[in-house]
Amino acid sequence: MVVGRGRLRPVAGMRTTLGNPHPGLQYEICTGSRAQARTRPTVARMGASYGQFCPVAKAMELLDERWTLLVVRELVCGSERFNDLRRGLPRMSPSLLSRRLQQLTRAGVVERVQTGTDVRYVLTPAGAELRTVVEAVGAWGTRWVGELGDEELDPQLLLWDMRRNMDLDAVPDRRTVIALRFTDVPAPTRDWWLVVDAGEVDVCDQDPGFPVSVTIESTLRRMTEVWRGDVSWSDAVRTRTIGVDGPERLRRAVPTWFTWSVFAAVPRPA
């Protein structure tokens, strides 16, 4: 079964104007007793009010509901369709995902774009500015909340993140199949395949039936640690906590086929 496929189109970063970090907003300096501010675009509050004028409190009224910032994370990473968002949030119920998308749309963070039967969820300029928030929170979590519980290890999420971080220019210019086996995972979710063909990447949880180019075998925990940057690929291969089987040329090339997690390069405390 194919559980995910297609190209991703990352959302472009926002540019700012020197002296005004929000060039889309308008300001007016007024004198006298009848000062009137020009209207400016705003986002609507989603959750209950904290009763504070602090901008952090105002932002959290929108962002601190469960799963909300993770939905934004998936949108920042380039997922635009409902099923793709679900694959990046496999433990979030479809009904709750739908509700959060509706809330973010009403708030002005997301725009729902429909062309015929095709529906996409696209970040607005206000939503795109949250990229730096997601990256900062992720970097902080990498540095200071590094402990992983067994319940947090998820092969589906790992494969989906690997799929969207493949360097298609580095993969051989023919169908390439990467088989992954997680030795510490129950049989139904032990084996996975990444199929790269014609500029697209499929994630399969059943044998796609194509010849395997290279096989990676490890525990789910070790592969997750390598993906996060907690352990280097070379150290894992050297200590044989990751095994790679296939032609030598492909075995050596495997780590170059991925751009790896954006947080893998975050410095850890000594």
Q: Hey, where are the domains in the chain? A: 49-145, 150-257
| CATH no. for 150-257 | 3.30.1050.10
**Pick among 1.10.1470.10, 3.30.70.2860, 1.10.10.10, 1.20.120.790: CATH of 49-145:** 1.10.10.10
At position 172, the amino acid (one-letter code) is P
Q: Distance (Å, rounded) from C-alpha 270 to C-alpha 267?
A: 9
Phi-psi region of 63 (alpha: psi -120 to 50; beta: other; left: phi over 0): alpha
Q: Give whole-number Cα distances, 169 to 66, 71, 174, 215, in Å.
A: 37, 28, 11, 20
Instruction: Indicate the pTM of the whole model.
Output: 0.79
% of the chain surpassing 70 pLDDT: 83
Q: Distance (Å, rounded) from C-alpha 241 to C-alpha 256?
A: 19
Q: What is the pLDDT of residues 20-73, one digit of tens each?
A: 444 444 434 344 444 444 445 566 656 678 889 999 999 999 899 999 999 999
Q: What is the pLDDT of residues 110-148, one digit of tens each?
A: 999 999 999 999 999 999 999 999 999 999 999 999 788
Q: What is the pLDDT of residues 63-108, one digit of tens each?
A: 999 999 999 999 999 999 999 999 999 999 999 999 999 999 999 9
Closest CA to 179 of 136, 205, 214, 223: 214
3-state SS class at 57: helix
Both tokens of residue 196? 């790269």
pLDDT value at residue 34: 45
Closest CA to 196 of 206, 187, 208, 185: 208
Phi-psi region of 199 (alpha: psi -120 to 50; beta: other; left: phi over 0): left
Q: Distance (Å, rounded) from C-alpha 29 to C-alpha 36?
A: 9
The secondary structure of residue 20, as a DSSP letter, is B
pLDDT value at residue 76: 96
Same topology for domains 49-145 and 150-257, yes or no? no
Task: Output the CA angle 15-141-20, nearest 5 degrees.
Answer: 20
At position 65, the amino acid (one-letter code) is E
Q: What is the pLDDT of residues 212-262, one digit of tens each?
A: 999 999 999 999 999 999 999 999 999 999 999 999 999 999 999 999 888
Both tokens of residue 188? 């139904």
3-state SS class at 110: strand
